[in-house]
Chains A and B, each alone.
Chain A
Amino acid sequence: MDSEVIKARLLEAFPGSEVILADLTGTRDHWSCRIVAEAFDGLSPIQRHQKVYAALGDWILGDSAPIHALQLATYTPQETA
């Protein structure tokens, strides 16, 4: 799965956010992702990750999903200021 495709879906789910993806293994299925989004304000780490997983839906659910692993770092703009 192409990083631009993943990024586009995340930007759709988190408008105005900053999304940086890195391919951890060179196989396009193990990703590291940093997202800075207003939508994370007031949410616990678990809730933030669940929001990202919900946005990716079938892409990450199940053994045949195109994303096998996703390392996540989630911040609000205030946390990175």
Chain B
Amino acid sequence: MSRNVQEELKQVIDANAVLLFMKGNRDMPQCGFSARVIEILNSCDVEYSTVDILRDPEVRQGIKVFSNWPTLPQLYVSGEFVGGCDIVTDLHLSGQLETMLSAQ
């Protein structure tokens, strides 16, 4: 049976209130942009999950289609795509990210 990556992505996004698609994991981010978002999430005192897209080429391509967004990392909160590193950083600096996360 062929794999339905888009359906897999929908399920993992629905199952995790705060979910970061990233390169590497929270202990060893493999890219500076992923590392910055991890730093921000850690400072927010919130529980979050991560998906290491380097471990799965199909997920790596699939999430770009799913979000209509060509780069990683990508943050989802409550099933909604929030943005990549630049947008997450801006939301953090303006305090909006904390508001979104505290609703979790």
Which residue numbers of A lie inside 8 Å of B, CB to CB?
Answer: 45-46, 49-50, 53, 56, 60-63, 65, 69-73
Contact = CB atoms under 8 A, between A and B. Distances in A.
Counting chain A CB atoms within 10 Å of each CB, the highest count among B60, B68, B69, B87 belongs to B87
Top 9 A-B residue pairs of the complex, sorted by shortest distance between their CB atoms = A60-B70, A45-B87, A61-B70, A53-B70, A72-B86, A46-B83, A71-B86, A50-B68, A45-B83
A71 B81 CA distance: 18
Nearest to B57: A63
A46 B86 contact: no
Contacts of A61: 64, 70
Q: Name the interface size band of chain B.
A: 10 to 19
Contacts of B83: 45-46, 49
